[in-house]
Chain A
């Protein structure tokens, strides 16, 4: 086993472990911190695939901005003691059914899926570099790219509208 493969297995172990810890840990702050760790290990996978831009953007957007907001909200909610009344038997049964169904679907999809063979002749190791990504996005996929930016702009304007104070509304 060469070093890249063993590193891949180590990284995968870490990813799965931290993802499980997100679900298992009782403290929501710990969950968020484990989720951040999961994003880091995912970025490690991107770097192993030589997709450095994706790795950096994953860190900046998810770990750097979105998870900060998650942490922010959870800190304000002050969820120190987990309230037991939300965990009735009905919720537990429903959660088990939903989780089991999801697992069955994923397993079925995994069983049907065909993993394409790697062709070493055609494989371009530089495909994930930022120059190639830019050429792809701004030449071949320009229209979808611009449409996505409009979608994001609409979402942003909507968020601002929701957060805006109505006329005559009190400040606090």
Chain B
């Protein structure tokens, strides 16, 4: 890897990191605006035009509050909890393909932190680790309610990981690759996986709601039963990190959904746009411009799913805990296995028939 390539990669990783944080920050603002819209009120409108400076004000408030550690808490693990939550939330964006390639001076560099042949497994592993931040923090608080919230979070995440993994297997059977860049490239030309995997998509999005601890699966922080759940004892920026990690997770899972099911940076008519741009600006600038349009489309899709998370939050009430477990184990897992069998049969029998009929 020579210097130009290295610089582009570094710039990509830096931009992705900053964008993740900014999007997570403005998701808090967006959530309040969406809530305000759905509940027929204004939402934040004092700090800056349309309340746009509200996240900065919140961050300032969080920073300047007293950093408090309960007397009987395990001090190191109490600090490690939110740090782990932030760490695992930020790790996942490394393998997400945000766009196709950039061409600079004859170098072609993919807009992706790391192109790995185990991409989706890496994301899955990081998601599986996300529960540690909550569990460690909840236990270290030395509070019964925190512990119960942490235990709930752990059992919920483990249960829904199973169905999530099974719904992913159907995608992998179709793409026969674990690399996210490869999965996106295969969806070129309107070949989006959502058309082939509607059931898998529904299972996946339900499980990602549960993994992010969002309504209707926000039982770990269910205030009517558990005071505040796993972060009852937390205040100031440590609480801020927990809440922030949740918004980062939302963005990451929205990005993963758009990569796996909605074609990532692909959009209808992108080949036509590509030829127009390369004819107008030459192969290098035109190619880069087309890539940037694709990246914008990708972020549009991801932001739509963030909006979808908020929409659901202010529409649907919370499940009861036994309902949550029944849904996870008795409905989603059998459905996911059924989906795998259907997909396997379709790949084996239906696909050769259709290709033979078309040719």
- With A65-B158, A130-B117, A130-B178 in contact, do A56 and B125 touch (Cβ < 8 Å)? yes
A residues apposed to B, CB below 8 Å: 29, 33, 36, 52-53, 55-57, 59-60, 63-65, 68-69, 71-72, 75-76, 129-131
Q: Mark B74-87, 1 if CB is under 8 A from A, else 0.
A: 10010000000000
Find residues 114-161 in chain B having any chain A CB closer than 8 Å to their own CB: 116-118, 121-122, 124-125, 128-129, 131-132, 135-136, 139, 147, 150-151, 154-155, 157-158, 161
Residues of A within 8 A of B132 (CB): 36, 68, 71
> A72: which of B116, B154, B161 is its contact (CB, 8 Å)?
B154
Interface string of B99-125 (1 = CB under 8 A from A): 000000000000000001110011011
Nearest opposing residue in chain B for A126, CB measure: B117
Contacts A72-B155, A75-B139; A64 near B117 (Cβ below 8 A) = no
Residue from the set A59, A64, A71 with the largest chain B CB neighbour count within 10 Å: A64
Q: A53-B121, A75-B151 are in contact. Are A60 and B135 (CB under 8 A)?
A: no
Query: Which residues of the partner chain A approach B157 to less than 8 Å between Cβ atoms?
Result: 68
Smallest Cβ-Cβ distance to A64: which chain B residue: B128
Using Cβ atoms and an 8 Å threshold, which residues of chain A touch B154? 68, 71-72
Minimal beta-carbon separation of A19 from chain B (angstroms): 19
Cβ of A75 and Cβ of B150 under 8 Å apart? yes
A129 to B122 alpha-carbon distance, docked (Å): 14
Q: How far is the CB of B219 from chain A (nearest CB, A)?
A: 16
CA A76 to CA B154, docked complex, whole Å: 13
B294-330 to A contact mask, C-beta < 8 Å, 1/0: 0000000000000000000000000000000000000
Given A65-B158, A68-B154, also A75-B135 (CB < 8 A) = yes
6 smallest CB-CB distances across A and B, nearest first, come from A64-B128, A56-B121, A59-B125, A60-B125, A52-B118, A56-B118
Known: A29-B77, A63-B125, A71-B154. 10 other contacts (CB 8 A): A33-B77, A36-B132, A60-B121, A60-B124, A64-B125, A64-B161, A68-B131, A68-B154, A69-B158, A130-B118
Bound: A59/B354 CA distance, A:
40
Nearest B residue to A71 via CB reads: B135
**CA A2 – CA B77 in complex, angstroms?**
36
A57, A60, A63: most-surrounded residue (chain B CB, <10 A): A60
Most buried by B among A33, A57, A59, A68: A68
By a CB distance below 8 angstroms, the chain B residues around A63 are: 125, 128-129
User: A129 to chain B: which residues have CB within 8 Å?
Assistant: 117
A71 to chain B, nearest CB (A): 6
| Across-interface contacts of A55 in B (CB, < 8 A) | 118
**Which residues of A lie under 8 Å from residue B155 when comparing CB positions?**
72
* From B129, B155, B158, residue with most partner A Cβ within 10 Å: B129
**Are B136 and A33 in touch, CB under 8 angstroms?**
yes
Number of A-B contacts (CB under 8 A): 62
Residues of B within 8 A of A (CB): 74, 77, 116-118, 121-122, 124-125, 128-129, 131-132, 135-136, 139, 147, 150-151, 154-155, 157-158, 161, 178
Report how far A60 CA is from B147 CA in the complex, Å: 24
A43: nearest chain-B partner, CB-CB: B125
Contact B139 A57 (CB under 8 A): no
Q: How far is the CA of A130 from the CA of B169 in the complex (A)?
A: 14
Closest to A80 in B: B142
- Docked Cα-Cα span, A57 to B131, in Å, equals 17
Q: Which residues of A contact B122 (CB under 8 A)?
A: 56
Shortest Cβ distance from B128 into A: residue: A64
- Given A52-B118, A57-B121, residue A76 in contact with residue B161 (CB < 8 A): no
Q: List 26 A-B contacts (CB under 8 A).
A: A29-B139, A36-B132, A52-B116, A52-B117, A53-B121, A55-B118, A56-B118, A56-B121, A56-B122, A56-B125, A57-B121, A59-B129, A60-B121, A60-B124, A64-B129, A64-B131, A64-B161, A68-B131, A68-B135, A68-B154, A71-B154, A72-B135, A75-B135, A75-B150, A75-B151, A130-B117
Q: Does the CB pair B77–A60 fall under 8 Å?
A: no
- Min C-beta distance of A171 to chain B, whole Å: 11
From residue A133, how far is it (CB to closest CB) to chain B in Å? 11
Docked Cα-Cα span, A131 to B117, in Å, equals: 9
- Among B125, B131, B154, B161, residue most surrounded by chain A Cβ atoms (within 10 Å): B125
A53 nearest in chain B by CB position: B118
Contact of A59 among B128, B139, B147, B158 (CB under 8 A): B128
Most buried by B among A59, A69, A129, A131: A59
CB distance from A56 to the nearest CB of B (A): 4
A56 to B117, CA, bound (A): 11
Minimum CB–CB distance for A9 against chain B, Å: 24
- How far is A59 from B124 in the complex, measured between Cα atoms in Å? 9
**Could you say which residues of chain A place their CB within 8 Å of the CB of B125?**
56, 59-60, 63-64
CB neighbours (8 Å) of B139 from chain A are 29, 71, 75
